[in-house]
Amino acid sequence: MERAYFAEGHAWVAGSDEVGRGSLGGPVSAGIVVVDQTTGRIPAGLRDSKLLTPRAREALVPKILRWAAASAVGHASAAEIDAMGILAALRLAGERALATLAVEPSVIVLDGNYDWFSRPPRAAYSPRASAPDNVVLRIKADLTCASVAAASVLAKVERDALMRELSGAHPAYGWAVNKGYGTPEHLAALRDFGACAEHRRSWRLSGDDPQLPFSQSR
């Protein structure tokens, strides 16, 4: 897919994917990987991060960093998600990643069917003044586009590490294992201990369990 954009004259093509959108706690993260016409062969074993074991993802990170022309991961915190909504927080995470790149991609292939780089309101403190010029949406791009798959791996590995760090300060919720998602053990801990500062308090959980400390709509 990237080669088609090179043929159109694009020098820097980026793939982007998000991780943590459905989590009950912790940040949402956006990975970006940029390739150009000199980028070599795809690292062996690269695929959508959800299809890889944790060990395989971690082993791929140094290979991706050597392979990519540029790469970055950005995050938006649980507090920012509550303040602006998940889609605007996704935009902020993506813009934070873009702001740290050494190059400016002329096209970004984004996994999914919603352009969270451009459509949600931009945070007043965003590191960028405007949206990227050319965002291309592609459903299941993490299965068909190498730079998107690489971005998903980098974002997943970095976010998982952040959740393990947060688990040290909030051990009751099992984030080292569940990474903030709504597993039965995580939900049980929420009933027993309530939410902490790293939970997304604006989430509404299915079933509206009165024992769970989330009451607002997303």
What are the residue boundaries of the structural domains of the chain, listed by start?
A: 2-160
Counting Cβ atoms within 10 Å, is residue 6 exposed (0-12), middle (13-18) or buried (19+)? Answer: middle
Question: Could you give the CA distance from residue 152 to residue 47 in angstroms, rounded to a whole number?
Answer: 9
pLDDT at 47: 84
- Residues in a beta bridge with 29: 19, 75
Confidence grade of residue 216 (pLDDT, cut at 50, 70, 90): very low
Encode 115-154: b = buried (16+ Cβ within 10 Å), e = exposed. Answer: bbbbebebbeebebeebbeebeebeebbeebbbbbbbbbb
Structure tokens at 74: 């950005």
pLDDT of residue 49: 84
What is the pLDDT at residue 204?
73
| pLDDT of 208 strictly over 60 | no
Q: Is the distance from CB of 25 to CB of 199 less than 8 angstroms?
A: yes
Confidence band of 117 (pLDDT split at 50, 70, 90)? very high
- For residue 217, pLDDT beyond 50: no
**Which ranges in 124-201 belong to alpha helices (H)?**
141-144, 146-169, 175-178, 184-193
> Which one-letter amino acid corresponds to residue 83?
A
Residue 23 reports pLDDT greater than 90: yes
Pick the CATH number of 2-160 from 3.30.420.10, 3.30.70.330, 3.30.70.260, 3.50.50.60: 3.30.420.10
Average pLDDT of 105-109?
A: 96
CA atoms within 13 A on the CB side of 150: 28
Region of 185 (left: φ > 0; alpha: ψ -120 to 50; beta: rest) is alpha
Taking the C-alpha atoms of residue 190 and residue 140, their distance in angstroms, rounded to an integer, is: 33
Sign of CA dihedral 131, 137, 140, 142: negative
* Distance from C-alpha of 92 to C-alpha of 120, rounded to nearest angstrom: 9
pLDDT tens digit string along 32-91?
999 999 999 999 999 878 889 999 999 999 999 999 999 999 999 999 999 999 999 999
For the cut 70, the answer to whether the pLDDT of residue 207 exceeds it is no
**Per-residue model confidence (pLDDT) at position 218:** 37
Are the beta carbons of 64 and 153 closer than 8 angstroms? yes
Residue 98, C-beta contacts closer than 8 angstroms, at least 6 positions apart: 32, 72, 74, 104, 127, 128, 132
The sheet that has 70-76: what strands, in order across it? Answer: 70-76, 28-35, 13-19, 107-111, 135-138
Residue 91: what pLDDT? 97
Show the tokens assigned to 154: 């980098």
pLDDT confidence of residue 211:
63
- 211 or 10, greater pLDDT: 10
Output the pLDDT for position 4. 92
